[in-house]
Amino acid sequence: MLYGISETEIGEKHLDYSSYGHFIPITGTTETGARKKILGHIKAARPTPESYALLAIGTRWSPRIYEGEAVLIDPELNPDPGDEVLIMHSGEIRLCNLIKKTDKQITVSNIGGDNKRYLLAQKGIQYIHVIVAIFRMNKVIIIAARK
């Protein structure tokens, strides 16, 4: 008996973290947001069928995210305060920390260096998607890249 658990109670449990494939599509950049055209793929388990990645362009998001890294986004998750999120607001892409949300507005801070807080009206938000991972440059493998 181990910690009050018999051998028959301990078993092997198989979890399949890659049930939606082994490639995550890169569908845009941190400047453009998600597009319908696939720019390439990252070789990694895809958490949901709707998840996608964006390639970081420029230094706007550093030191949290650097140019050449990929940001994994899951649009099926409901964003909660404390989450890092991708926001399309009035046609502009923002990578932010979600601080607070109400029916009329949300409070966010930049992921980039300044951590400045902003109030954004809910009516100007096209979408808010949760950032679930960042693939560092040495982990990004772009295959089948297309223009």
Give tens-digit pLDDT for 118-140: 999 999 999 999 999 998 876 66
How many residues are present in the chain? 147
pLDDT for position 112: 83
Look at 37-41, 95-99, 102-106 and tell me which has the smallest mean pLDDT. Answer: 37-41
Q: What percent of the chain has pLDDT over 90?
A: 50
What domains does the chain contain, in order, with CATH numbers? 23-143 (2.10.109.10)
CA distance 10 to 72: 34
Chain centroid offset of residue 107 CA: 19
User: What is the chain's mean pLDDT, rounded?
Assistant: 82
Amino acid type, 45: A
The more confidently predicted of residues 61 and 144 is 61
pLDDT for position 15: 40
CB 100 within 8 A of CB 120: no
Name, in order, each residue with C-beta under 8 angstroms of 17's C-beta and a sequence gap of 6 or more: 45, 47
**Would you place residue 13 in the very low, low, confident or very high pLDDT band (cuts 50, 70, 90)?**
very low
**Would you place residue 23 in the very low, low, confident or very high pLDDT band (cuts 50, 70, 90)?**
confident
| 134 three-state secondary structure | strand
Task: Residue 142: name the closest of 70, 49, 73, 63 by CA.
Answer: 70
pLDDT in tens, 39-56: 888 888 888 899 999 999
Mean pLDDT of 55-77: 91
